[in-house]
Chains A and B, each alone.
Chain A
Amino acid sequence: MSWKRDVLREIDARLDLPQPARSRVILEIAADLEDTSHMLMERGLSPEEAREQAIRRFEPRGEALSEITTVHAAGLQRFLGRFSGAGRRRWERALLLLLFLFLLLGTRVLLPAPDLFKNAGPGLLAVVTVTVGALLLSSFKLYDVFVRPRQDSRRMRRGLDWILGLAGVEVFVGLSAFWLGLYGVAGRSAEDPATSLLYLFEWLVEGTATAILALQAAVLLSLLWYLLSRRTETVARFEAEALMAAD
């Protein structure tokens, strides 16, 4: 077992910091701990003495650790830190709910033309259902990745690919609705060729509106997935580096 591991693990366990700040602090201390030991050896101490003295010098002190937490706490966490544990949980739930409502209402705003909803065909219900489900999942993941105080990359990664999967489902639903509409128009035109042009225009309006909504939702979800994945990768990289530094 590495001589640094215990002290670094203790610091890691006591640092109430979001990632990747927590791993950055561990990385910095790990490198300094090792260099201190080397420097003490250069001054004539035996390797064992140098390690012991280095560990003593870096022994975590509660006051220093809580000060590091204060320095690195994100604005939102500093704000939440003013409340008691229970009050904080209530605030976090309220913020999560607000975030979800914003995303839900934002869908209506982000998708620009209200006429699109009016003109969309039967595929709209499926598109909206998938979008609401995906945004709900995204809200939880946004909380996991950006708000939750004790972050770890495994929990952050859990369910993340579902968002991208649902974006794919949006594309599938939108394009299926589009081509199924054309199939329906073809059938009706064959029965009543005189009105085929009317059916064709109806399909064009309905089908394209549904496809546009589905594609926009897919783009929005893909962007959310990208944002969450990037952050998760950064955290995972720093966690891995911090673990390697301890070995």
Chain B
Amino acid sequence: MEAMSRLHVDTSNLSRSCNEALILGSLRGGPRHGYQLALEIEERSKGMFSFNHGTLYPILHRLEKTGLISGSWSQDGGGRRRKSYELTRKGEKHTRELLEAWDEFQDAFHSAVKGEGP
């Protein structure tokens, strides 16, 4: 039997789980500002996952509080402060496991809806 990943997709709040996975997955590409994440996810999903940017911040801040990502402030040439986020080591490990869990979820979902099974 195939080994199951330790993490599971939280199906009780699928929308939140999906947003978290999208954000963590995007951050694998390196540090990003909040707006960059939203635009990048929208582009890469060809508009399938279109965020109201306001909904990003609670997720980003919660992930930051749990230590999966870290936020850092920087100042641009005009003296404006902006915040960017990157995955922590703990976050990288968590993301790997989470994406595996999503693969399993996707397989299980297809099996269920298409009637495919062992």
Contact = CB atoms under 8 A, between A and B. Distances in A.
A58 B82 contact: no
Contact of A65 (B38, B54, B62): B54
A39 B39 contact: yes
A32 B65 contact: no
Given A31-B33, A32-B35, A61 B54 contact: yes
B89 interface: no
Contact of B82 (A35, A64, A71): A35
Main secondary structure, interface of A, reads helix
A245 B79 CA distance: 10
B54 A31 contact: no
Interface residues of A, number: 27
A32 B34 contact: yes
A61 B52 CA distance: 9
B53 A72 contact: no
Interface string A219-247: 00000000000000000000001000100
B57 A68 contact: yes
Nearest to A57: B53
Contacts of A6: none
B55 interface: yes
A-B CB proximity, top 3 nearest:
A67-B58, A31-B82, A32-B35
Interface of A: 11, 25, 27-29, 31-36, 39, 57-61, 63-65, 67-68, 70-72, 241, 245
